[in-house]
Copies of this chain bind each other. A is one copy, B any other.
Amino acid sequence: MEILNKDTIQNLLGGIDLVPLIEKGFIAYSSGQVIVPPIGELTFNDPPGDVHIKYGYIKGEKYYVIKIASGFWENEKYGIPNGQGMMLLFNQNTGQPLVLLNDEAMLTDIRTAVAGQICAMHLANKINYIGVIGTGLQARLQVEYLKKVTQCRKIVVWGRNDQKVLEYKNDMIEKGFQVFIENNIEDVFDKSNTIISATASSTPIILKEFIKPGTHITAIGADAIGKRELGEGVVKLAHCVVADSITQCLERGEISYAISDGEIEENQILELGNILSGKSIGRQDTHHITIADLTGVAVQDVQIATAVFESYLENKK
């Protein structure tokens, strides 16, 4: 078996069209072709940290994938990234290990951005401004990946920390965007019809009063139990509520709150893979409000790891 490091992986990614592969993964997931056992977890107290092991496979495909990702929050004190991560690919017919992708968590960031791109393609109206709540890594990557699906290069952004908002603005200008900073989240919603919410907030910051007809929201931030960005009644306003995984979204994320608050019923949730396959219908009217809640599904890891490894094998020939 081999180890591919982050630089090699980054080079390989340049030549891969991830969208059809990740879409195929979501469709397989929603049609019951994917085995994803419960996430393994290891917790540390001193220093604090946690490790997640996500794993699974698509039935009948070549590989199974095990992803090991960790967050140790005091790392930055020592100049080490808080998040660490790797993916391992094995032969689905023999169990033999094939490759370790030592991507340092980059592949998770990218497969998440691609999922957002897919949601915007299938759920948003023609984008007028890209609305961004948050200034972190996903607030950047999600926008960059939208480049491929919209001509729009105008961002309206809100962030809690002024310094970080300025850094965000400068960085995104360099990437070819016009950036408008807003002081209130509501102003972002006033300008933009397509919002990426990607903060680590644990209290709702997006209120139902902000939401206009025609808005699409891709909610990225609330990927773990206890995190929440959308306020009471927001999900209820949506004509179309989409989960990457209904099972996971019942446990964590925006939809879980909407269900427990009685805003919507479980049978009102659509699954992304079913929209992609045409089994469910997404946006039906330009005035409709759509919300996609992304918690991250192991099949995305399976697909991106497979794509990187197969591209590596192809280039090696």
Residues of A with Cβ closer than 8 Å to B?
A: 1, 3, 35, 37-38, 40-44, 46-47, 49, 51, 53, 55-57, 60, 64, 66, 68, 70-72, 75, 78, 80, 84, 86, 88, 90, 92-97, 100, 102
Known: A42-B35, A42-B64, A64-B42. Is A49-B86 also a contact (CB below 8 A)?
no
Give the oligomeric copy count: 2
Known: A1-B102, A40-B37, A55-B42. Is A94-B84 also a contact (CB below 8 A)?
yes
Docked-complex contact A1 and B3, CB < 8 angstroms: yes
From B40, B42, B88, B95, contact of A57 by CB (8 A): B42
The secondary structure that dominates the A interface is strand
From B43, B53, B80, contact of A66 by CB (8 A): B53
Give 11 A-B pairs besides A42-B56, A51-B55, A68-B90 with Cβ atoms closer than 8 angstroms: A3-B3, A40-B40, A42-B57, A42-B64, A51-B90, A53-B55, A70-B95, A72-B93, A72-B94, A80-B94, A84-B96
From B37, B46, B71, contact of A95 by CB (8 A): B71
Q: How far is the CB of A297 from chain B (nearest CB, A)?
A: 15
